[in-house]
Amino acid sequence: MNAMRERRYLTFDMNDPRHRQALALLSARSSKQRSEYIISCILKAEQEVELKEVVHAAVLDALKGVSLTERTERQKDTVESVTELPGALLSMLDEI
């Protein structure tokens, strides 16, 4: 049985520090490991995007129907505003 392979070429912009760093990381691998390294990186990046979407949807779903109340003066001294909680959570999720 003949193994099917498809060849792709990558181009690196040496004026872009990210490209230079990526090329250095890729070049540190043996020529036989480079394809597997790129494949693993692509699949891991996609899994991270999917996981972020699932977590984001779960938090939004969990926050549905949650009502927030104003804090007492004592609470204001010790905790950030409760009314800012949903925005803070969503902001945190965007950074994940």
Q: How sure is the predictor about 89, in pLDDT bands with cuts at 50, 70 and 90?
A: low
Q: Which pLDDT value is given to residue 54?
A: 94
Helices (H), the chain: 17-27, 34-63, 73-78, 85-95
Section 20-24 average pLDDT: 97
Q: How sure is the predictor about 60, in pLDDT bands with cuts at 50, 70 and 90?
A: confident
Q: How sure is the predictor about 71, in pLDDT bands with cuts at 50, 70 and 90?
A: low
User: Phi/psi of residue 72, each to 5°?
Assistant: -75, 170
Q: How sure is the predictor about 53, in pLDDT bands with cuts at 50, 70 and 90?
A: very high
For residue 54, is it left (φ>0), alpha (ψ between -120 and 50) or beta?
A: alpha
